């Protein structure tokens, strides 16, 4: 591997964060706070640089996950190119990754590896990646690989969908307000709304301790803002927004039953945008997944995220698609069980799995 133009070199976490400053499609999933949270959950982490002729051209990290369907190596939001690269160079990176991933699977006794690269979706590139032995993961669009973004500096309430604007203006007129908490003292009300969504919508939530621990790490790092939208002192909608470098992420949001009737979520998102505009240092608000890909929309396929996607599109957001979740298996025998289990689970939940 050392004689190839591209090679993979293990680095320290500190070196990883130094190089991260040069990347473009980073997210808070590449942050030190996120890694601190993963260690708190007992995850082992490993960091690498992808080098070309001795100079870094990309970053790589993974965690070990003892998943129910088989031990997995998870390359979350990675590989991450240092700069935007042409498809042929990205394909060379995936060609290099194959033998490396095989070594890591053997080393850790894992059944397969999953990658959610923060690389713009390209049908021809994806086809080439599959020809190298990778395959589409049998799961929905995880890790916000399909997402909506809002240019904070260009946002204009008068340019969003008419029905969304109506919900915002009527809510504000009725007296709905939003409080911004840079250091929220409690997540209990948010979690109660979140768990109520599980009961009414039937989605599979993250455990409360998982959410709390993660938010605590972002709070300690000064990356968290909790937006509480309320009416006459009663909380209606609460959103957790993560700040990282020049971007903000609409990470979690939950609304009470009364809040839904009053369209409080529209006021909440509008107030988040205006608050970020006033801060002056945030350029992009990433609405963090819950989005339906162009292919699914064009085929008019049913999707559990239809209402959420419609809500986000109502704010004149831009749809951005990265490469879908990709798997690399040790062999067909160790991968068959996890693949079938996850494919059936996706079908049961109503998620279409297509490129």
pLDDT tens digits, 139-180: 888 888 999 999 999 999 999 999 999 999 999 999 999 999
203 and 184 housed in the same domain: yes
Q: Do 253 and 163 sit in the same domain of this protein?
A: yes
Q: What is the DSSP string of 87-113?
A: HHHHHHHHHHHHHHHHHHHHHHT-SEE
d(CA 184, CA 215): 10
- What 3-state class would DSSP assign to 235? strand
- Give the span between the Cα atoms of 190 and 255, in whole angstroms: 8
The reply to whether 257 and 275 lie within a common domain is yes
Q: Are residues 89 and 158 in the same domain?
A: no
Q: What is the mean pLDDT of residues 181-206?
A: 81
Domain match, 75 and 160 both: no
Distance CA 80, CA 76 (A): 10
Residue indicated by tokens 């979706």? 121
In this prediction, residues 40-53 reach a mean pLDDT of 94
Rounded Cα gap, residues 69 and 228, in angstroms = 38
Judge if 15 and 139 occupy the same domain: yes
Say if strands 284-286 and 146-151 run parallel, antiparallel, or are unpaired: antiparallel
Distances (CA, A) of 256 to 30, 184, 198, 211, 276: 32, 19, 12, 18, 24
- pLDDT score of 195 more than 80: yes
Q: Would 354 be classed as within a structural domain?
A: no
Domain extent for 303: 147-319
Residue 320: the pLDDT is 95
Tell me, yes or no, whether 165 and 292 share the same domain: yes
In whole angstroms, what is the distance from residue 51 CA to residue 45 CA? 20
Compare 5 and 165 and report the one with higher pLDDT.
Answer: 165
Give residue-wise pLDDT tens across range 237-249: 999 999 999 999 9
CATH number at residue 217: 3.40.630.30
131 confidence band (pLDDT: 50, 70, 90): very high
- 122 and 26 in a common domain: yes
What pLDDT sits at residue 194?
92
- Count: domains in the chain: 2
Q: For residue 79, is the peptide bond before it cis, meaning its omega torsion is within 30 degrees of 0?
A: yes
Same domain, 110 and 217: no
Identify the bridge partners of residue 68 per DSSP, sorted by sequence position.
Answer: none
Q: Is residue 1 part of a domain?
A: no
Contact (Cβ atoms closer than 8 angstroms) between residue 318 and residue 105: no
- Give mean pLDDT, residues 332-355: 85
199 and 72 share one domain: no
- Cβ atoms of 287 and 301 within 8 Å: the answer is no
Decide if 355 is inside a domain: no
Question: DSSP letters of 128-153?
Answer: HHHHTT-EE-SS-S-TTSEEEEEEGG
- The mean pLDDT value for 207-227 works out to 96
Tokens of 1: 């591997």
Does one domain contain both 184 and 253? yes
Given a cut of 60, whether residue 96 has pLDDT beyond it is yes
Distance CA 293, CA 306 (A): 11
Determine the average pLDDT of the residues in 318-331: 94
Q: Is residue 104 domain-shared with residue 165, that is, in the same domain?
A: no
Beta strands in the chain (DSSP E): 6-10, 45-52, 55-67, 70-76, 80-81, 112-116, 135-136, 146-151, 177-181, 224-231, 234-244, 247-255, 284-286, 318-321, 326-329
DSSP lists the bridge partners of residue 46 as: 62
Q: What is the mean pLDDT of residues 50-62?
A: 92
Report which of 126, 125, 121 is spatially closest to residue 136, judged by C-alpha positions.
126
């Amino acid at each position: 591997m050392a004689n190839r133009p591209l090679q993979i070199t293990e680095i320290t976490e500190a070196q990883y964060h130094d190089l991260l400053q040069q990347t473009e499609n980073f997210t808070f999933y590449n942050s030190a706070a996120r890694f601190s949270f993963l260690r708190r959950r007992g995850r082992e982490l490993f960091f690498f640089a992808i080098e070309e002729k001795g100079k870094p051209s990309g970053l790589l990290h993974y965690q070990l996950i003892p998943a129910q369907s088989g031990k997995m190596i998870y390359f979350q939001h990675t590989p991450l190119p240092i700069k935007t690269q042409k498809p042929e160079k990205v394909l060379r990176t995936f060609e290099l990754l194959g033998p490396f991933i095989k070594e890591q699977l053997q080393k850790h006794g894992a059944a397969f590896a999953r990658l959610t690269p923060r690389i713009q979706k390209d049908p021809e590139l994806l086809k080439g990646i599959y020809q190298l032995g990778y395959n589409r993961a049998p799961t929905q669009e995880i890790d916000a690989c399909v997402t909506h973004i809002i240019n904070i500096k260009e946002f204009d309430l008068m340019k969003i969908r008419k029905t969304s604007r109506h919900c915002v203006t009527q809510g504000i007129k009725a007296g709905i307000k939003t409080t911004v908490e840079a250091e929220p003292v409690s997540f209990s009300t948010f979690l109660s709304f979140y768990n109520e969504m599980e009961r009414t919508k039937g989605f599979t939530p993250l455990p409360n301790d998982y959410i709390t621990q993660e938010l605590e790490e972002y709070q300690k790092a000064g990356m968290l803002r909790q937006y509480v939208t309320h009416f006459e002192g009663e909380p209606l909608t609460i959103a957790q927004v993560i700040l990282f470098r020049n971007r903000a992420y609409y990470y979690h949001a939950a609304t009470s039953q009364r809040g839904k009737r009053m369209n409080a979520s529209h006021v909440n998102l509008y107030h988040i945008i205006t608050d970020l505009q006033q801060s002056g240092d945030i350029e992009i608000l990433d609405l963090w997944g819950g989005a339906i890909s162009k292919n699914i929309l064009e085929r008019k396929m049913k999707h559990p995220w239809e209402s959420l996607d419609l809500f986000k599109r109502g704010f004149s957001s831009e749809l951005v698609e990265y490469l879908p979740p990709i798997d690399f298996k040790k062999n067909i025998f160790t991968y068959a069980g996890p693949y079938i289990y996850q494919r059936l689970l996706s079908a049961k939940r109503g998620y279409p799995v297509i490129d």
